Amino acid sequence: MESVEALQTIEKLLITLTRAEKARLLQWVARDIGDTFPGIENTPGVCGDEPCIVRTRIPVWLLVRARQLGKNDADILNAFPTLRAEDLANTWAYARSHKKEIDQQIQENEAA
């Protein structure tokens, strides 16, 4: 079933649910996407499967490492003209939540 068809089916089913059932559904969806960060995507087969900034192939770890090396947001935005300030805000939020993962990616990529 295609996504559009699936969404149409879900919409029809939602009408039949009570408010309490809809609330339970919302709780389930919130738990399911709770580890999702806007502006960050992890696409299998792209950039070594590492999380990147949407619309780019710029890995999160690279930006975090630049910051660790003393670059500020303005420096990073100048070095990567396709990035927006919003992308950096999303990057820093993701990095705070995934510190161990990002540290490991920095270590692995610097060793390569």
Q: How far apart are CA 66 and CA 75, in angstroms?
A: 9
1 pLDDT exceeds 60?
no
pTM: 0.70
Q: Which long-range contacts (CB under 8 A, 24 or more apart) does 79-86 make?
A: 80/56, 82/55, 82/56, 82/58, 83/53, 83/56, 83/58, 86/39
pLDDT digits (tens, 9 = 90+) for 6-32: 889 989 999 999 998 888 888 887 767
Would you tell me how many other CB atoms lie within 10 Å of the CB of residue 95? 20
Domain 40-111 has CATH 1.10.10.10: yes
Helices 85-97 + 99-111 axis angle, to 10? 100
pLDDT in tens, 59-105: 999 999 999 999 999 999 999 999 999 999 999 999 999 999 999 99
User: Can you give the length of the chain in residues?
Assistant: 112
pLDDT band at 34 (very low <50, low <70, confident <90, very high): low
